[in-house]
């Protein structure tokens, strides 16, 4: 059997080879290497039984129980591996790089595969993920009040060859009380960190990376502390879009959702916008006056955004209308001019 790979070697090889995560489904769901396939040696219940046996009777009885459980599954493991990796060159890992991954790799190698394991397993990967946020990146942050179309502007910036990470897309949340509407369920914090780190791995650290100005929390997930500190001190270019245009954008983006969902979103910020504003929003929703709802809630979001704004704004783009393509061109132009002046 080949020697276990370091995490850097493992991730480099994973570009070309399928990754098999042989941990239990619950472990995999909590967090996994992006793109990995789960072929669990044990179900969640079986893993608990083996753990209990180890705790009560020791290693040898636990190993025997594990073999009894896994034995009837061996042929099916090979069939699954063949279906997922017809080229028969694969990478395998478990939690600590111990018996589960080494046993699975042995089985596949016996069946004609070229299977290589990860030294110290998923634990090594998680250490790598957390360290990746401590690396220094050339960040540029795009700011602007709610409804300014920052996500669309970032997409236009990316279309012009710039490096962009859409944190809200990774988090499945747009960041406000309304942010979960129309989104897939949010990933757990660990899954979010893993896919975020994976996105960073795909980018060139010698080039600038654009992100949207975010709070530390995006729904129920959080930007890692080390990266968040870099974002807070990174140059910020702000886009100023007229309120009427922002109201129109919000009506277009959120007006399609059920009235009950919109009411629930307003309810979540009731204490922040005040009793009168909340009552006005609910009445406007009942009448289908979505522009009024957007206008009222923007008063709150604009105050909150501008109150918390750091003093690292390097320049602003003033737009007369909601035009993401033109805004992207202006923003990139400002960033290029700033770089030339450094």
Domain 7-130 homologous superfamily, CATH: Rhodanese-like domain (3.40.250.10)
Query: Which CATH fold topology does 135-341 show?
Result: Rossmann fold (3.40.50)
Sheet containing 236-240: order of strands: 163-164, 208-212, 138-143, 236-240, 313-318
Nearest Cα residue to 118 out of 98, 142, 132, 103? 98
pLDDT range class, residue 342, cuts 50, 70, 90: low
Q: Is 94 a catalytic residue?
A: yes
Query: Choosing from 5, 50, 94, 165, which is the catalytic residue?
Result: 94
Backbone angles phi, psi at 199, to 5 degrees: -60, -40
Task: Give the per-residue pLDDT at 315.
Answer: 85
pTM: 0.91
Spatial contact of 42 and 70, defined as CB atoms under 8 Å apart: yes
Spatial contact of 211 and 141, defined as CB atoms under 8 Å apart: yes
Provide the Cα torsion 171, 235, 241, 151; round to 10°.
-20
pLDDT range class, residue 311, cuts 50, 70, 90: low
Termini Cα distance of the chain: 53
pLDDT range class, residue 175, cuts 50, 70, 90: confident
- The percentage of residues in the chain with a pLDDT greater than 90, rounded to a whole number, is 91
pLDDT tens digits for range 135-156: 999 999 999 999 999 999 999 9
Domain-by-domain residue ranges, the chain?
7-130, 135-341
Sheet containing 19-21: order of strands: 37-38, 19-21, 89-93, 114-117
Indicate if the pLDDT at residue 325 is higher than 60.
Answer: yes
Residues 6+ positions from 86 with CB-CB distance below 8 Å: none
Indicate if the pLDDT at residue 2 is higher than 60.
Answer: yes
pLDDT range class, residue 25, cuts 50, 70, 90: very high
């Amino acid at each position: 059997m080949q020697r276990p790979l370091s995490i850097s070697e493992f991730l480099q090889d994973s570009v070309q080879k399928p990754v098999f995560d042989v941990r239990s489904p619950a472990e995999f769901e909590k967090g996994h290497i992006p793109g990995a396939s789960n072929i669990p040696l044990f179900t969640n219940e079986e893993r608990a039984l083996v753990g209990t046996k180890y705790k009560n009777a020791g290693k040898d009885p636990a190993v025997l129980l594990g073999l009894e459980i896994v034995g009837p599954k061996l042929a099916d493991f090979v069939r699954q591996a063949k279906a997922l990796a017809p080229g028969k060159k694969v990478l395998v890992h478990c939690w600590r790089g111990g018996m589960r991954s080494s046993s699975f790799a042995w089985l596949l190698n016996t069946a004609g595969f070229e299977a290589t394991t990860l030294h110290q397993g998923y634990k090594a990967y998680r250490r790598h993920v957390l360290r990746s946020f401590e690396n220094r990146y050339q960040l540029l942050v795009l700011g602007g009040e709610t409804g300014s179309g920052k996500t669309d502007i970032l997409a236009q910036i990316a279309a012009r060859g710039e490096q962009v990470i859409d944190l809200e897309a990774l988090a499945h949340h747009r960041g406000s009380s309304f942010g979960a509407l129309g989104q897939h369920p949010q990933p757990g914090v660990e899954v979010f960190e893993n896919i975020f780190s994976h996105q960073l791995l795909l980018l060139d650290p010698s080039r600038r990376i654009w992100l949207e100005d975010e709070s530390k929390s995006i729904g129920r997930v959080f930007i890692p502390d080390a990266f968040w500190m870099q974002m807070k001190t990174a140059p910020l270019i702000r886009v100023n879009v007229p309120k009427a245009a922002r109201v129109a954008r919000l009506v277009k983006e959120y007006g399609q959702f059920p009235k009950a969902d919109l009411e629930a979103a307003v309810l979540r910020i009731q204490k922040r916008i005040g009793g009168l504003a909340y009552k006005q929003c609910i009445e406007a929703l009942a009448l289908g006056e979505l522009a009024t709802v957007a206008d009222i809630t923007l008063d709150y979001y604009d105050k909150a955004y501008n109150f918390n704004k750091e003093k690292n704004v390097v320049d602003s783009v003033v737009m007369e209308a909601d035009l993401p393509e033109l805004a992207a061109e202006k923003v990139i132009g400002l960033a290029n001019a700033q770089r030339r002046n450094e």
